[in-house]
Amino acid sequence: MDHLWTPWRLPYLQGRRPLPSGCLFCVKPDEPDEEALIVHRGDQCYVLLNRFPYNNGHLMVAPYAHVASLEDLDAGTSAELVALVKLSLGILRQAYQPEGFNVGANIGATAGAGIEDHLHIHIVPRWAGDTNYMTTVGKTRVIPEWMDETYNQLRPLFDQRDER
């Protein structure tokens, strides 16, 4: 029998995860990229890894501006947000060859937003057969890659795109 050890998830599952003071998406850009898991910085938005991913490669795109919904963004920020979602899809295809994606925003607590005051778009790579009983019964996600390996896989690909 194989054992899956994910002790780093226990504080999250028990609601004891450390939270920054202030808005997570406002604080992250002030941290070093690797610590914050920021893989790309644009002029008005940035891309970071989700520290508690649904699958490996789970990215989020957030504006620097503290706004709650898409209609609160100016035209330039909206355009960059969509451009970074598109860029992220291409990079995830290159790095992981997913068979599909879930892309979306949970706007408002009723819609499932964990952080409802700061808009962010989730990009989740998906593969056939990537769901199993662990999430439903065990309340645990199986992520086959360490977070620093995911960061090291994706950051150079974003950097290469910047150089073009």
Which residues are annotated as catalytic?
120
Q: Tell me the two tokens of residue 57.
A: 């490669």
Q: Which among 15, 14, 40, 46 has a CA at the least distance from the CA of 121?
A: 46
Q: What is the dihedral of CA 35, 38, 39, 41, to 10 degrees?
A: -130
Q: How far is CA 66 from CA 8, 83, 116, in A?
A: 29, 19, 11
